[in-house]
Amino acid sequence: ALAAIVNDGKMAKYGQKIVKGNLNSSFKTVEGEEGSRLDAKIKRHLEAEVDMRLFCRLFPRDQAFDKETLIQLWLARGFIKGEHKNRIANLFFQILLSTGYILHIGTCFASKKDNYIRNVNMLRSDTTSTICDRMVENVDSHRFEASNGDQHVSLVGDDIDETRLKDMKEFKNLKALLLLCDNASNISKIPHEVFFALKFLEVLHLGGTHITELPCSIGNLTELRYLDLSLTLIELLPESVENLSKFTLVM
């Protein structure tokens, strides 16, 4: 299955209700140049809140994730600007949790980390769906169509193979790619031509797949900020990763 999200930056009523209600009361009496700066700051926070909520849609309804990983993905994608990024991301996470947008489902025995899932019922009623230029979920992976506007994509399902991965090179402006396969026995490597095409990619999540090696073409991903290889069979990285000066490696 393929899940793709594109958002146009408009502010949703849901986000205004949660965030603006908390922030605007402190700034509403400020006028002039300082007030304009504060208004711009509020707008950035609202847009970030919308982007981070939409990003959660990349996870299938039964796909568990932990807080640390989700926040790392948010930050790597650049949703939060300026100072105190981690503190702001933690605040937004608590907002999503307190409003029921994401749900706590227990603690992972192996990692000792709390696990969460997205609330499907909340997503159905979420007004941010109106700002999605394209939102596709649970589509047969053999029939998806790429769009130049797609920026966030997750590949989900046991039928994802190298042929399907080759199709990803058609997503020319892709910034985040997540492979979320519970039984990814059909994937042992990433076709080298994929990374030549995805030159704007900032987030690459391969954790939990059966990939054994990365192609040298990964050195072409000069904008990459986050690479998750946890729970994979990869032991060595190609020398070309030296070209990547911005990324954080998770193994």
Q: What is the mean pLDDT of residues 95-123?
A: 89
Q: Confidence class of residue 36 from pLDDT cuts 50, 70 and 90? A: low
pTM for the model stands at 0.77
pLDDT at 101 over 60: yes
Q: Once rounded to an integer, what is the mean pLDDT over residues 26-54?
A: 63
Q: How many CB atoms lie within 10 A of CB 104?
A: 11
pLDDT at residue number 34? 52
CA dist list (Å): 101 to 36, 122, 138, 220, 225: 31, 6, 20, 36, 26
> What is the DSSP secondary-structure string of 80-106?
S-SS-HHHHHHHHHHHHHHTTSEEEEE
Distance between CA 29 and CA 187 in Å, rounded?
Answer: 57
Residue 10, pLDDT > 50, answer no
Q: What is the mean pLDDT of the chain?
A: 77
CA distance 105 to 101: 13
Q: Which of 4-18, 111-125, 147-161 has the weakest average pLDDT?
A: 4-18
* pLDDT tens digits for range 179-202: 887 655 578 889 999 999 999 999
Q: At what angle do helices 32-55 and 67-77 cross, to 10 degrees?
A: 120
Of these ranges, 24-38, 56-70, 213-227, the one predicted with the greatest mean pLDDT is 213-227
Inform me whether the pLDDT recorded for 43 exceeds 70: no
Phi, psi dihedral angles at 24 (to 5 degrees): -65, -30
pLDDT: is 13 or 74 the higher one?
A: 74
Q: What's the CATH number for 9-126? A: 1.10.10.10
CB environment 124-133: b (16+ within 10 A), e (fewer): eebebeebbe
Rg (the chain; Cα; Å)? 19
Cβ contact 165:140 at 8 Å: no
User: Who's near 49: CB < 8 A, 6+ residues apart?
Assistant: 15, 18, 19, 92, 95
Share of the chain above pLDDT 90, in %: 37
- The more confident residue out of 15 and 175 is 175
Domain residue ranges of the chain, discontinuous segments joined by +: 9-126, 140-251
Q: Domain 140-251: which topology?
A: 3.80.10
